[in-house]
Amino acid sequence: MSHEHGDHGPKEPIGWMDKPDFVKRLFWAFYALCAVLVVAEVVFGKATEHPHPNEGWFGFYAVYGFISFWFLVLLAKPMRKLLIRSEDYYEGDEGAEDAG
Amino acid sequence: MLGSLPPFVPFFVGALAVAFTKGLPRKVILLAVPILGGLNLLLGLEHDVQLQEFLGGYTLTLLRVDKLSLLFGYLFHIAAFLGFLYALHLGDGDVDGAVGDGDHTGGDRAGLQHVSAMLYAGSALGAVFAGDFITLFVFWELLAVTSVFLIWARDSKRSFATGFRYLIIHVVSGVLLLSGALMLAHRTGSVEFGHVGLEGTGAAGWILLIAFGIKAGFPLAHNWITESYPESTPTGAVFLSAFTTKVAVYALARSFAGEDVLIVVGTAMTFFPIFYAVLENDLRRVLGYSMINQIGFMVAGIGIGTALAVNGAVAHAFADVIFKGLLFMSIGAVMTMTGRTKGTDLGGLYKTMPFTATLCIVGAMAISAFPLFSAFVTKSMIMVAAIEEHHYIVWLFMLFASAGVLEHAGIKIPFFAFFAHDSGIRAKEPPKNMLIAMSIGAILCLSIGIFWIQFYGLLPMEMEYHPYSTTHVLTQLQLLCFGALGFIALMKTGVYPDEKRAVHIDAEILYRKLGPWLVRKTGSRVARVDTYVRASVLELVASVLRVAARAHGLVGPLARSWPTGSTVLWVAILLAGYLLFYL
């Protein structure tokens, strides 16, 4: 995975993350995989023995996965605003400042 | 062969042997104990071991062998072997190429860690093979007392304080366990560690449930996990993540299967930690939250209570010890070599630690439940059981939490440690023993996912379930790949929150801030009242003294020496007074 080229000094390794073309190709391969998974649902269909009422919708899992990530992050951000404290919040004389 | 030797015995004897050896003999013992213990488990356990009429007439069962205890027995032997292999370099002096302050690799501290880890693993085995609550209680407390040294071995002021809090929380859990057990014994006349449930057991059932819940990281009691794992040594965290919580899951499965309240608690546990895991900077703390999330699935499975669900819960506990161990090992390797575990400090390590990065990714794929990896065949049992029992909302929450697992453990852990922005750190691969331990962990993650039929054969309940249906593979891949697509979109649009050097308030604020604050406030109130009372009393005494001084002082009327005549006069007056009074 790592190579030893001379671009960044004598012993600076260049990883594949440093090659934008490769990373771009990797992303496209991933998008293609996602597309294949949608097509596969058309081809194979879904057959669960005990289906959940929502599970049968076409692309349910794909949509649910995508939305879950956004929901998670969009809810976590305001949560951070509320809950964030400095790294030494609990340090030293614990609770020397106020409790909230 | 060894007869029916309770599985904790080899570990306790081994701990003694480790304490008095050094160098190669110690290493041999460290690896031999789990192997010999494993052989004892496979070949030697023929019948239960009981101590009749012990302690007030109760029968104590030191060894109860059934499929449930055996499954955890195998698991803990594997975990102990991997843990000791991973920690084998301790005592050899500084790790070659390391720039950080990981474990204390030399001197007696290495021995202390080994001894406490050995006793800790033995205690876990003692607990899962215990057939009565008294025996369970003894090992329950030993779990806490032996493992705290894995936190204290870090030898910092912070780890010392964390260790104390850890100890107090676990001792409280133990005290509750004993109280609940005694109340139950009073009610039923038996201390057998079997199904308890909440119906007909009164307060005893609830107290036992809370005792187990504290160790399992139930909401509000969960912060000991996120506090202690990041404060322990790199090798200590691997042991800590394997035993305590899984003993609690075992106890819940043994005593509270089918209790509806566990479905709610478990679902909450899968849900809330994933938000913290998104925000958290310390990658071992992220793994701590991830641990709570995974235990949530197990607790919910136990709550659903069908054969499939309970099998899923214990199977997932098995898989979790391996993949979470692998993730803790890979981040521990990073910590050993760089001294850092925070997302803000790391990144780009794949260039110089490609093996560690690859093994971390295997652990990440296993926890995310990709097909062919362990969680795919274990977690799905719980999910299917939830649908079968018509817990649809629970199922939707768990599906969301599954996507959350991919986010924090599947992507965030490997991405921020080994990829993301290049931190400029050029750390070497960790020592060979660490790499071998991680490789075995990775192979096991895949083995469970591939040889699932054999693995299912070890599970305690009879069931019919096939994880590799086209639909399951397809839908799981859709969930994960489109989740990852969501992650890419979040990164590209800049919505994904940066790692920040910060803490995020959690329930621990209750005992780390609010508690001390209350004590201080109450203390200052008490002090103020105390000062006031003291001042008043002093003032009172002073005024009495003043009055006395006025009367009896140098010039006071009562201090004068009176002539005899006036004394006679006074006596006459007094007598006249008496006379008047009695007449």
Is the pLDDT score of B225 beyond 90? Answer: yes
**Which range, of B112-126, B134-148, B403-417, B564-578, averages the lowest pLDDT?**
B564-578
pLDDT, residue A49, reads 56
| Nearest-neighbour CA in chain A from B315: distance (Å) | 21
Q: Using the beta-carbon criterion (under 8 Å), do B500 and A84 form an inter-chain contact? A: yes
* B300, pLDDT greater than 90: yes
Backbone φ, ψ for residue B500 (5° rounding) = -125, 140
Burial class (CB in 10 A: 0-12, 13-18, 19+), B198: middle
pLDDT at B60: 87
pTM, to two decimals: 0.87
Rounded-to-integer distance, Cα B355 and Cα B365, Å: 15
Most A-contacting residue of B370, B471, B492 (CB-CB within 10 A), to test interface: B471
Q: How far is A21 from chain B (nearest CA, A)?
A: 16
Instruction: Report helix, strand and coil shares of chain A as percent, to nearest 5.
Output: 50, 5, 40
Q: Which residues of A touch B471 (CB under 8 A)?
A: 44, 46-48
User: Which range, A48-62, B371-385, B532-546, has the best average confidence (pLDDT)?
Assistant: B371-385
What one-character DSSP code corresponds to residue B358?
Answer: H
| Dist CA B467 CA B381 (whole Å) | 8
Please, which residues 357-386 of chain B have a Cβ atom closer than 8 Å to chain A? Answer: 357, 384
Of B351, B501, B509, the CB nearest to A2: B351
User: Among B153, B445, B216, which residue's Cα sits nearest to residue B325?
Assistant: B445
Report the C-alpha gap between B332 and B334 in whole angstroms: 5
Which carries the bigger pLDDT value, residue B390 or residue A3? B390
Query: Which among A40, A64, A80 is the nearest to B474, CB-wise?
Result: A40
Which of A23, A27, A39, A68 is best to mutate for the B interface (most B CBs within 10 A)? A68
Token pair 């042991």 in the structure block, residue: B239
Q: Is the pLDDT of residue B375 over 70?
A: yes
Quick one: pLDDT at residue A12? 67
Per the CB < 8 A criterion, the answer to whether B50 and B193 are in contact is no
Query: Which tokens in the block code for residue B326?
Result: 């692998």
**Domains in chain A: boundaries:** 1-45, 50-85
Measured distance CA(B204)–CA(B186) in Å, rounded: 10
Between B97 and B19, the higher pLDDT residue:
B19
Cβ A47–B471 below 8 Å, yes or no? Answer: yes
Query: Do residue A62 and residue B520 have CB atoms under 8 angstroms apart?
Result: no
- Of B175-179, B190-194, B290-294, B295-299, which range is least confident? B190-194
Domain extent listing, chain B = 257-503, 512-582
Q: How far apart are CA B583 and CA B580, in angstroms?
A: 5
Confidence at residue B481, expressed as pLDDT on a 0 to 100 scale: 96
Task: Tell me whether B393 touches chain A (CB under 8 Å).
Answer: no
Strand pairing report for A13-14 and A3-4: antiparallel
* Helices B432-450 & B67-86 angle (0-180, nearest 10): 150
Residue for token digits 């993730």? B327
B308-332 pLDDT per residue, tens? 999 999 999 999 999 999 999 999 9
Q: How does B115-154 read in b/e, with b if 16+ C-beta sit within 10 Å? A: bbbbbbbbbbbbbbbbbbbbbbbbbbbbbbbbbbbbbbbb
> What is the rounded average pLDDT for all residues in chain A?
77
Q: Are B445 and B378 in contact (CB under 8 A)?
A: no
Q: Which residue has the tokens 């909230």?
A: A100
Chain A contacts in chain B segment 57-116 (CB below 8 A): none
CB-CB under 8 Å, A47 with B513: no
Nearest by CB to residue A2, choosing from B352, B490, B502, is: B352
Q: Which residues of B touch A68 (CB under 8 A)?
A: 399-400, 403-404, 483, 486
Please give the share of chain B, as a percent, with pLDDT higher than 70.
93
Distance from CA of A91 to the nearest CA of B (A): 8
Of A1, A55, A69, Cβ closest to residue B490: A69
Three-point CA angle B215, B217, B218, nearest 5°: 115
